[in-house]
Structure formats: C-alpha cells, structure tokens
Amino acid sequence: MEGKASLVNTHKILMKGLETIMNPKKFALLFVTLTMMLILYACGGGEQKTGETGEQKAPETTGPVTQIDSATAATITGKVTYEGEKPKPIQIRMDAEAACAALHKEPVYAQQVVVNGNNALQYVFVYVKEGLGDKNFEISKEPVVLDQKGCMYHPHVFGVQTGQHLKVLNSDPTTHNIHPVPANNREWNKSMSPGVTPLEQTFPREEIMIPVKCNVHPWMKSYIGVVKHPFFAVSKEDGTFEIKGLPPGDYTIEAWHEKLGTSTQKVTVGPKETKSVDFTFKAAAVIS
Amino acid sequence: MVTEAPRNTNPSPPAPLPGGEGGQRPGEGIARLNASFCCSELGINSSVSGATWLHRFALVATFCTFVLIIAGALVTGNEAGLAVPDWPLSYGSLMPPMVGGIRYEHGHRMIAGFVGLLTTVLAFWLWRRESRRSVRMLGFIALGAVVAQGILGGITVLFFLPTIISVSHACLAQAFFCLMVSLTLVTSPGWRQGVRQLEARGNSFFQRLCAFTTGFIYLQLILGAALRHSRSGIVFHLVGALVVTVLVMLVVTRVLRYYPDVSSLFRAALVLSILLLAQLFLGMGSYLMRLAARQDVQPALAMVTITTAHVAVGALVLVTSLILTLQSYRVLPQANKMRRFSAAPQKVAL
Ligand code: HEM
Ligand SMILES: [Cu+2]
C-alpha cells in the first residue's frame, strides 16, 4: 500500500515537472542552454590546440649560433629497458587494402610497445630537455626522411630540429594521406599518390611529440620530436641511444615513450666526457 | 487491434480543402483511410497518381538518407574522416582510388551527393505539384539543410575535424533525416486525404509529451555525437539515456492506455519501444567495445559495427518518435499549427 502510494506520488511529481517544462518556450530555452554548455565544453576541450590556426612563424633562431667545439664535446649514452611482463605483440591487419597486404609475406606487428631481447625498449625518444639555456645551434641542412613503405612509416619515431626540413616519401604502390596532429605547430594533411614527388615541410616550434597519422590506413602511426638543438636520439633495437657533441654542462635528459610516458634524469658532463644514463620504463597498469 | 478506418460509421470521400487542394487528383485512393506511414503504400490502386509518385520518391530519398547516416557513422568509426584531405574535390578529382579509408570517406561523399540530388528534385517537384504551402516550404528547408550539411562536411575536413563542426555535422544529419521523414509522411496518400479526428479523445498533454520526447531524443543524439567526437562526457549521455527511457515509457503507457485502437499511434509506440530497447543494448555494447579497444592499433570490425548500429538505431528512435508526434497531432484534435500540414481534416464526433 505504502509503496503504491509513494509510486503514485512520484508519478504525480514527475508529471507536474514535465507539465512545467513541456511548454515550447521553456523547452527551447532548455535546449539552447544545454547546447551552449555543450559548445563551451567542447571548445574548452580543444583549448590545447592553440597554434593550429596560427601562422607558420619563422624558426626561433635569433641570436648567435653556438658552434660545437669538438675539443670539449661530451657524449651521453645509455640504454632503455622495459620492466614487467612483456606485452603481446599486436598483429596489424592490412586486409582493408590488398595493395598493402601484398607487400608483406610475414605478419606485421604494431610498434607501440616494442620490447626486444634483454628487455630492450625500442622507439624511445631521448633528448636534452633543459640545460642548454638560450643557446642556438646550427640547423642541419640535411632533411630528415620519413618514408611510407609497406604501408608503415619508416622510421616510427624520430626527431627533427625546428626549421629543419622533413622530407616525406611514398615508396608504396598505393595512396596515403599524411596528417601530423601537432598541438603547438600548424596542422596539415596532404594526400600522396604513388610516385608523387616527395613532400618537404618544416616545424617552426618545439614540440614533444607530434603524432603522424594516415587515415587511409588507420594502423599507420609515427611520432616526431621537434627540438631546437641537435641533441636527441631514438633508442635502437638493443635499447641503446647516443647523444653526441654536447657542450659540457648540467642537463636534464628526458625519455619519451608513446604508451609508457616520460621519465627524466639529471646528468653533468665535463669536457670530452662520456656518461651513461639508463632509463627504465615500467609496464603500465593500463596502457591506453 | 482495430484500425481507425472501421470506426467511421459513415465513410465519405474526403472533402476538398477550401483554399485549393488543386494538386490532388480525383479518385486518389479514396478507400485509404489508414493514416499509418509507409504501409499505406500497400493499398491496391490501379491509377497511381502524380502525388503518389511524389510520395514514393520522397520515401526513396528518405531511405537513401538513412543509408547516408550509416555511411557517415562508418567514416567516423573507421577514423577515415581525413583520408581525403581536399574538398569539394577528392584527391583533385571526382573519383579517387577507392582504397582503405578513402572508400569510406569518398563513398560517404558520393552517397551524400546523390541524396543532395534527390533532395533538389524533391524540393522542386513539391514546388510544382504540392498545394500545401507549408509542405512546399518544408521541401526547401530540406534542400537548404542538405546544402548546409555538405558545406559543414567540407569545413570539418578542411579544418581537420574540429569537435564542434563534426558534432554539428552529426546533429544536422539527424535533423535532415527528420525533415525527410516528415516530408514522406505528409505526402503519403493516407495523410493527404485526411483523417476523421478522434474529437472526444483529444489530449493536449499527450501531444506535448510526444513532442517533448522527440525534442529530448534529439538532445540525446547531440550528447551522443559530442561523446563520440570528443571522447568525453559519457555521464551526460547516460543521464540523457535515462531521461529518454522514462519519457518513452510514459508515451508508450499512455498509448497503450488511451489509444490501443488507434493503429497509427499504436504501431509507432510499439516500434519505438522495441527500438529503444535495442538502442540501450547497443549503447552498452558501444561502451564495452570502446573500452576493450583502447589498446587496439586500428579500428576493429566488431567495434565499428556496434557503434555504427548504435548511431543508426539512434536515428530510427528519433524519427519514430517524430512520426508518433506528428500522428498524435493529426489524429487527435487540437487547435495548433500542425493541422496546416494535414489535408482536409474531417471532424467526426465519436
Ligand atoms: C536513449 C538511448 C540512446 C540514444 C538515442 C543514443 C544515441 C547515440 C548516438 C546518436 C550516438 C552517436 C552520435 C554520432 O556519432 O553522431 C551515440 C554514441 C554513443 N553512445 Fe549512445 N544513445 C543512447 C543510449 C546509450 C547508452 C545507454 C549508452 C551506454 C552505456 C550509450 C553509449 C554510447 C557510446 C559509448 C557512444 C559513443 C560511440 C562511439 O564511441 O563510437 N548510449 N549515442
Ligand atoms: Cu597510408
């Protein structure tokens, strides 16, 4: 009895409430308010994307260029290791495009967490984060090459200096679109048919890291680290890396991995010194 | 279940509307008093009139619009929105190589172009043949909407899918689908020839409840689109699902209680409840699929299928509620604007 009465009451209140907001004007008001909230919410979410519409500014190379003195230049070497249970390699399905599948006899695996022998973690971007002050270094005249081959990006992770040319090739018999998704540089998206002339682009602002996507082949992913100086490296198959030609000083070195996050260490190098800085990444509880 | 027709003790040919129902030809489906949507086509009629062809054309265009919504959902699901970087051309041509993600993106553009063409034809056909001014206007509103939709789609590609534009594109798609369904409904022979309104059973609360429910479902679709394109805000969408479920339950119980014998309302309510149930399961499925897919390196077929079905059934829930609303305003009397869309209402007190 009690339950029924309260149910009837709830129903009554619900109906009353409905009766009040069901008037077209009120509904319109509710609708507009909710939509505005949604818009604000969406725009708030996209706030980090500044610079996307900004003009491509000239590289920030103002001031004198610091020459690397080979008489004092120091070196940082190291190894990146993975700790924890090795993740199972994820096979890429290229059946969405026959032309891609035909380029591989062996199965192709995703490069998001590549742990090789001795727990060596590959594809970690290691660079000097702090310690160089306002020093400017010569921008390499050699372009960095990114090749689209076998419907994969080569290399998967790499660095480029601000203003240094990035040359994009398409060695595949199929069409790609290349679409970097920067937060701090201007976004672009270009189609590249087979045999197209290579594309040249630059990134004027530092950014760790710019994801690169192909929307024709959604498994294609690459990451570009854009830094002002030439002191960066990517861990190789055996997990090692080497940063050469560094002026003596105190530095913060950062290691970045696309799924496992970042890790920093401080190091001091004297003239001509070689120091070893090793990084360890723990298996994340949830890799997302 | 009894249809509306047998309730009329004194069936008479529809009275011509004062103010020129000129487009309507004599002898057009006299016996058809069934006001239900689509199924009215099944009536046997030897002389198929221009108006019937127009309705059939609208029906085809509406169906293509539904296919277009599915194609659009596939683009998002397969992350193929930017597979074709240029617009209005695709890779500088009308026909790029249909490989990988380009198939989805360009396929969507081609179907959209076709729907645009159908809408243009429909709008001008209505302009020439339709006597109800409001329906002619509706045709042009649909045309405007499809053009705006194409431009929004282009903008979102050229600006690399900003959330707000992509969400607007998704919402305008649903609104356009509603326009097409409305056009199909109001051009149907059943609708055109008028209905004996259930004078004594008018219920403005019920009608407004239906309209409100439709509006709220639309809002829920916006929340869904925002969730899908920004990957955040599931709470809003879940609360929305709860509210929609309660509203639909209210509508359906009311139909069962007061209008179980009014086939147009009964059928729409039945379909609505089934679709809603399916939609809730698909929503849960979408959520679980996305959760399981967090480590995936490419969109999995199962995930794309379930989320696409969730979008498609969402559109069907919306238009079913819309049809129910329009029918409620038509079958039940009320001094309101809706009557402008209906031809020759015949008032028979019961
Ligand atoms: C009243 C019922 C519901 C309606 C009408 C509805 C409608 C929609 C629509 C239209 C979209 C996609 C929008 C677009 O991309 O254009 C969507 C997305 C979504 N909905 Fe619902 N929904 C409902 C209930 C639910 C429920 C109960 C859940 C559950 C847990 C749910 C979970 C989701 C998720 C996860 C997405 C995003 C799909 C994706 O990431 O691809 N929905 N909803
Ligand atoms: Cu590609």
Ligand in nearest proximity to the CA of B246: 1
Confidence of residue B195 (pLDDT cuts 50, 70, 90): confident
B244 pLDDT above the threshold of 80: yes
B3 pLDDT above the threshold of 70: no
Q: What is the CATH number of the domain that holds A166?
A: 2.60.40.420
pLDDT at site B168? 93
Q: How high is the ipTM of this complex?
A: 0.83
Higher pLDDT, B215 or B26: B215
B101 pLDDT above the threshold of 80: yes
Mutate which of B286, B291, B320 for ligand 1 pocket (most atoms within 8 A of beta carbon): B286
Please state, in angstroms and rounded to a whole number, the distance separating the CA atoms of residues B11 and B349: 13
pLDDT at site B72? 97
Does any domain span residue A43?
no
B2: how many CB neighbours lie within 10 A of its CB? 11
Spans in chain A with pLDDT lower than 70:
1-2, 41-62, 285-288
pLDDT at site B46? 42
Region B1-11: mean pLDDT is 39
pLDDT at site B334? 64
B158 pLDDT above the threshold of 70: yes
B154 pLDDT above the threshold of 90: yes
B162 touches chain A (CB under 8 A): yes
Does any domain span residue A281?
yes
Please state, in angstroms and rounded to a whole number, the distance separating the CA atoms of residues B260 and B268: 11
Average pLDDT over all residues of chain B: 84
Question: Whole-prediction pTM value?
Answer: 0.85
The 10s digit of each residue's pLDDT in B312-342 is 999 999 999 999 999 999 888 764 444 445 5
Total number of domains in chain A: 1
Does any domain span residue A3?
no
Does any domain span residue A240?
yes
Does any domain span residue A233?
yes
Does any domain span residue A177?
yes
Q: Which residues pair with A210 in a beta bridge?
A: A224
Average pLDDT over all residues of chain A: 88
Mutate which of B243, B273, B310 for ligand 1 pocket (most atoms within 8 A of beta carbon): B310
State whether A38 and B223 contact (CB < 8 Å): yes
Region B203-230: mean pLDDT is 93
Per DSSP bridges, beta strands A240-246 and A74-83 are antiparallel
Q: Is A66 helix (H, G, I), strand (E, B) or coil?
A: strand
Residue A240 belongs to what H/E stretch?
strand A240-246
pLDDT at site A69? 81
Question: Is the backbone of residue B38 left (phi > 0), alpha (psi -120 to 50) or beta?
Answer: left
Does any domain span residue A280?
yes
pLDDT at site A62? 63
Q: Is A140 helix (H, G, I), strand (E, B) or coil?
A: coil
B264 pLDDT above the threshold of 50: yes
Minimal Cβ distance to B86: which of A174, A191, A214? A191
Domain hosting residue A153, numbered range: 65-285
pLDDT at site A111? 93
pLDDT at site A2? 65
State whether A179 and B82 contact (CB < 8 Å): yes
pLDDT at site B16? 37
A 65-104 → B contacts, CB under 8 A: 90, 92-93, 96-97, 99-100
pLDDT at site A67? 82
In percent, the amount of chain B with pLDDT more than 70 equals 81
pLDDT at site B111? 97
Does any domain span residue A71?
yes
B334 touches chain A (CB under 8 A): no
Give B105's contacts (C-beta < 8 A, 6+ positions apart).
A215, B75, B80, B81, B82, B83, B84, B90
